[in-house]
Amino acid sequence: MARTYLILLLAIVTEVIATTAVARSESFTRLVPSLIAIVGYAAAFWLLSFPMRVMPAGIVYAIWSGMGIVLITAIAWLWYGEALDLAAVLGLGLILAGVIVINVFSRSVSH
């Protein structure tokens, strides 16, 4: 199961890189960020297919998308100075809490 989570982590990281590149591609008019985005999303979806072989698709997607949202927002806040208000921080905390609850308490995830 550790290998499955490692592959899922790689899928999350590649999706975060791709999404960050999309934000910098200026509507796909800049070549390098555009290529990073395209290759990153292809890699993310390919990697995402492996955990779905052994875990329910909804659980995999919840972890992938939830962690992606939190990490992309953190990068935008830390590196690019995007502002977050209290509601955004609380919402992100709830997303993170949901991912933790799924992984710790759900019987749908094989441990």
pLDDT band at 107 (very low <50, low <70, confident <90, very high): confident
> Chain-centre distance of CA 16, in angstroms?
6
Q: Which helix (H) or strand (E) holds 108?
A: none
Q: What is the pLDDT of residues 17-43, one digit of tens each?
A: 999 999 999 999 999 999 999 999 999
- The reported pTM is 0.85
Q: What is the pLDDT of residues 53-80, one digit of tens each?
A: 999 888 899 999 999 999 999 999 999 8
Q: Where are the alpha helices (DSSP H) in the chain?
A: 2-24, 31-49, 57-80, 86-105
Q: Where are the domains of the chain?
A: 2-105
How many CA atoms does the CB half-sphere of 84 hold within 13 Å? 19
> Chain-centre distance of CA 101, in angstroms?
17
Q: What is the pLDDT of residues 75-91, one digit of tens each?
A: 999 998 999 999 999 99
